[in-house]
Amino acid sequence: MTVRKIVVMGVSGSGKSLVGQRLGDLLDVPFFDADDYHSDANVQKMANGVPLTDEDRRGWLADLADLIRRESGLVLACSALKKTYRDQLRTGDPALKFLYLKGDFETIWSRHSQREDHYFTGQDMLKSQFLSLEEPDANEAYIVDISATPEAVLQQCMKALGIKPRNDLDR
């Protein structure tokens, strides 16, 4: 297994953090959540239900590309909604791999509405992400259907990346 830098991408509530943490453990590389790198101003905007603009994301994406560049291996959970955002992340490593956790609005909203203590709130915010989303094709990312259980989604991700299943997967 030579893939050492992976972005788990998709709209909010698609399972990026859950899948990303598990992949990081399996690959023995650190897991990072891109949400932790937003400025206080960005977090406040989202908490108030205001979608971020490309300008709001510019410094955040540059910081994430720097993180990718610094780490010898990582799994990063990041929405990476637009191709230009993914291109900017690739400046940190051109060999960066993307896993796109794809789901429909209803599935993701049902999961999203069960979350607690998250600054990203409301159907309008999720709708804005779906409107901004420029879905990657199979040439740009591994596309993973999230309609199954989290364990099945993780198995799909591992298969896409060529990771052999381990016996301690249920730990």
For 44-81, the pLDDT digits (tens) are: 888 787 878 899 999 999 999 999 999 999 999 999 99
Q: Is residue 170 part of a domain?
A: no
Q: CB within 8 A of 167, min separation 6: which ones?
A: none
What residue numbers bound the domain in which 58 lies?
A: 5-161
Q: Is residue 91 domain-resident?
A: yes
Paired strand residues for 77: 8, 33
Pair 7, 90: CB distance under 8 Å: no
Render pLDDT for 76-135 as a digit per residue (tens, 0 to 9).
999 999 999 999 999 999 999 999 999 999 998 887 766 655 445 567 778 888 999 999
Q: Say which CATH number the domain at 47 has.
A: 3.40.50.300
- Which helix (H) or strand (E) covers residue 129, if one does? helix 123-132
* DSSP per residue, 72-106: SSEEEE----SHHHHHHHHTT-TT-EEEEEE--HH
- Count of domains forming the chain: 1
Residue 141 lies in a domain: yes
